Amino acid sequence: MSIKPARTRIAPSPTGHMHLGTARVALYDYLLAKKTGGQFILRIEDTDLKRTVPGAEQEIMDGLRWLGLQYDEGPDVGGKYGPYRQTERREIYQAHAKILVEKGHAYPCFCTPDRLEKMRQDQMKRKENPHYDGTCRKLSPDEAARRVANGEPYTIRFKMPYEGVTVAHDHLRGDITTENKQLNDYVLLKTDGLPTYHLAAIVDDHEMEITHVMRGSEWLGTFPLHVNIVRAFGWDEPVWIHLSVFLKPSGKGKMSKREAAQAMKDGYSIFIKDMQELGFTPEGVLNWSALMGWGVSEDDVMTVSQMVDRFTIDSLTPSPAAINFQKLDHFNATHIRLFTTEDLAARLKPYFTREGLNVNDEVLLKMIPLIRERLVTLDDCISFGAFFFRENVAPNLEDLIAKGLDAKQTVEIARRVYQILAAQPDISHERCEPPLRAYVEESGLNVNQVFGFLRVATTGQKVSPPLFESMEIIGRETCLRRIQNAIAMLEKA
């Protein structure tokens, strides 16, 4: 691990919802920057005007902030390497494209999309690899300049060597050798004057002094191109790290729209914006995604600061990883148990409020220790603890009836239980459990028959936090009233 401060960047394009994969790369970028005392940068790659969707940029910024991956430089925070939105940097790319043309590494191309498309069709028909045929590469500089001056629309293409090989070095995969004839004269600058990714990313990474480029392995195909562009400029290369992609849970192929929809049905998502709503925590999501593609030998529950301590780019893994949502549950639940009561209270409150419940802060603080280890997602607090904040509960009659008994027999139990509890000066755990246990003993009933009734009567549900601790929080008056209601229900049955 280099001790020199690293400058890393996450460079998403605002073309849709922020994906889990983006979050993971951002996390690694963040970890490396923090570990080395460097900077983590957000750059928006919005050069495809047709695909840019309104709000997507904001979603990315919100997503990063929600995750706690605050960038040191970016469109909305500034920085001395700005602007951080590529559409605001078009002159920079045009100037650089010009440099490449002047150095003989690029050339203007006047071929129309129609001609290109026809050319491609012909090549396919002849079973050749689709590639630019080099028509405009043969143009003399003078003629090219004349046609440009004439106002003819043109693109700038990179002049890829026809012969030889390009050796590009990836930190995780070693040297990757590609025959140059496999490569293409890619377009660097489009007719609209905006750059393609290939030019924009390379220029920006250099201009912004990015030291480590982490990106998805879908860029491996054009990796040799990028390396050639850097070399054509005569610049130093960053450390390149191509991360593997995420596969769908079955491991067969990457996540598609269909899988994303299925995940949503199961209460999961691959989009960051959904995570909070589904009750996931930044800690859980981060810890989970960190471990897909990063090999940590043991004790893999980590906070972000622990991740910073342990992170090295050498421990990243190159193989594709299947998404495993069960593991998300595990990490989420584990982190929830690590939160302080106060912290958890603040995080839970919005979910209760969302449910239309009026939260009493004192009660909230008291009930949290009871439900904490039962929560997998934050919104589970509703099913486990909504009854704490309701005036009345509405149990099902069949749940109320003790197992193996009928309504009539249960009424007997209920009355007895009421009597016992009403006789207590308070409804504390210490006070209530012993006499109730004694009653179970002498009546010959089993614990679940008695406690089960009480649980359903007081909480309204069959599954709840520990009974006596819960009753203590619910309070004497409310408990007794709820038991009375239950008795009334049973009597009517």
Q: Which two tokens stand for residue 445?
A: 């009933």
Asked whether the beta carbons of 208 and 81 are under 8 A apart, the reply is yes
- Is the CA virtual torsion 19, 22, 27, 28 positive or negative? positive
Number of residues that bind RNA (CB under 7 A): 92
Distance (Å, rounded) from C-alpha 441 to C-alpha 239?
Answer: 72
Choose the binding region for RNA from 58-66, 90-98, 302-310, 455-463 (rule: CB under 7 A). Answer: 455-463
Asked if residue 466 binds RNA (CB under 7 A), the reply is yes
Q: Is 469 in the site for RNA (CB under 7 A)?
A: yes
447 Ramachandran zone, left/alpha/beta (phi>0; psi -120 to 50): alpha
Rule CB under 7 A: is residue 197 a binding residue for RNA? yes
- Catalytic residue (choose from 50, 80, 257, 265): 257
How many helices and strands, by DSSP H and E, does the chain display?
21, 11
Q: Any contact of residue 141 with RNA (CB under 7 A)?
A: no
Residue 479 sits in the site that holds RNA (CB under 7 A): no
Map residues 47-86 to x or -, x wherever contact with RNA holds by CB under 7 A.
xx--x-----------------------------------
Task: Pick out residues in 375-434 that bind RNA (CB under 7 A).
Answer: none
Map the footprint of RNA across residues 16-35, applying CB under 7 A. none
Taking CB under 7 A as the criterion, the residue among 40, 107, 389, 468 binding RNA is: 468
CA distance 304 to 302: 6
Question: Rounded to the nearest whole angstrom, what is the least distance from the CB of residue 445 to RNA in the complex?
Answer: 12
* 487 vs 482: CA distance, rounded Å: 9
Among 6, 41, 60, 187, binds RNA (CB under 7 A): 187
- Is residue 5 involved in binding RNA (CB under 7 A)? no
Query: Of residues 275-304, which lie at the interface with RNA (CB under 7 A)?
Result: 291-300
Cβ closest to RNA, residue 298 vs residue 391: 298
User: Active-site residue 257, yes or no?
Assistant: yes
Minimum CB separation from RNA for residue 131, in Å? 6
Torsion, CA 375, CA 376, CA 381, CA 384, rounded to 10: -60
Q: Is 447 exposed, middle or buried (0-12, 13-18, 19+ CB in 10 A)?
A: exposed
Element (H, E) at 380: helix 380-385
Answer for the pair 469, 453: CB distance below 8 angstroms, yes or no. Answer: no
Pick from 271, 351, 451, 453 the residue near RNA by CB under 7 A: 451
| C-alpha triplet 245, 246, 247: angle, nearest 5° | 115
Least CB distance to RNA at residue 492 (A): 25
Among 218, 309, 398, 441, binds RNA (CB under 7 A): 218
Does 139 help bind RNA (rule: CB under 7 A)? no
Please, which of residues 240-279 interact with RNA by CB under 7 A? 244-245, 247, 251-254
Binding residues among 317-356 for RNA as defined by CB under 7 A: 317-322, 324, 326-327, 329-330, 333-334, 337
CB 335 within 8 A of CB 260: no
Judged by CB under 7 A, the stretch of 72-80, 179-187, 231-239, 397-405 that binds RNA is 179-187
Q: Exposed, middle or buried: residue 62 (CB in 10 Å: 0-12, 13-18, 19+)?
A: middle
So which residues are the catalytic ones? 257
